[in-house]
Every structure is written in structure tokens, then in C-alpha cells.
């Protein structure tokens, strides 16, 4: 079972905030607990709750923590795309002999944009 499939809704929200903050951080890697808390300001969460969730994500090896002066900076261990790909591989692995049918079903329900992205990806691999 992948780390992301073991995460609760709040853990997922904190991870999403880290991805968003990391994407706009420029040179700096990761985000402080305060920055994550501010990013989640619309959720009315206590700062200590955000810090507890960050600690849980570190324990689950989903997030890395580095000392930055007297505080810590947190960063996702994997990109959003890498973690999503891992979930897709995990789900396909659980289908057993129905793997082909699962792929056909997935593609059958994909949007035009998703199909175009799949075509580009397959063309790049060829």
C-alpha cells in the first residue's frame, strides 16, 4: 500500500499545500510549518495541528524535514506526478488478471485532454 493511499483528508491537504508552496518557492526548497499553516488558512486549523500532521507525514516517509536555523523546512519526498503514477501502478497491480480491462476502462472514461496527454506520452516513449 502506498503512502498516499494511507493518508487521511487532512494529511492530503497538507501535502497539496506543500506541493503548491514548493512549486512557487524558486530557489528555496520546502516550506516552513508557518507557511503551510498560512496556506491552509481557510480551513481554520490550529498551527499545532498542522505541525502534528507534518510530523506524521515525515514518519510515513511522504515528507522530508530539514533544519533551517531554529525551525524546520518540509518538502514532499515525491512530486505530485510521481506519487500519482505510483498510485496508478499500485491500482493496476491489484487488478490481477483484469489489468487489460482496467486500462481499457480507464481510457474509456478519460477526457479528450487526458487522451491527448496519453497520446503525447506514448509518442515520446516510442
Is the same domain home to 29 and 86?
A: no
- Give the Cβ contact number of residue 40 at 10 Å: 18
Distances in Å between the alpha carbon of 84 and those of 7, 35, 37, 44, 77?
13, 24, 24, 28, 13
Which pLDDT score is estimated for 28? Answer: 57
Same domain, 13 and 55: yes
User: Quick one: 35 and 70 in the same domain?
Assistant: yes
Q: What is the pTM of this model?
A: 0.75
User: 65 and 94: one domain?
Assistant: no
Radius of gyration, alpha carbons of the chain: 18
Count structural domains, the chain.
2
- Give the tens place of pLDDT for each residue, 107-125: 888 899 988 988 898 899 8
- Give me the domain span that covers residue 43: 4-76
Q: Do 53 and 25 share a structural domain?
A: yes
Amino acid at each position: 500500500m502506498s503512502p498516499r493511499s494511507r493518508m487521511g483528508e487532512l494529511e492530503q491537504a497538507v501535502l497539496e499545500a506543500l506541493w503548491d508552496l514548493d512549486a512557487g518557492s524558486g530557489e528555496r526548497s520546502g516550506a516552513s510549518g508557518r507557511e503551510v499553516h498560512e496556506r491552509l488558512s481557510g480551513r481554520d486549523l490550529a498551527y499545532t495541528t498542522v505541525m502534528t500532521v507534518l510530523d506524521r507525514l515525515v514518519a510515513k516517509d511522504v515528507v522530508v524535514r530539514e533544519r533551517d536555523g531554529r525551525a524546520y523546512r518540509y518538502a514532499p519526498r515525491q512530486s505530485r506526478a510521481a506519487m500519482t503514477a505510483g498510485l496508478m501502478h499500485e491500482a493496476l497491480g491489484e487488478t490481477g488478471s483484469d489489468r487489460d480491462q482496467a486500462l481499457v476502462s480507464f481510457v474509456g472514461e478519460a477526457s479528450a485532454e487526458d487522451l491527448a496527454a496519453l497520446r503525447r506520452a506514448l509518442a515520446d516513449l516510442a
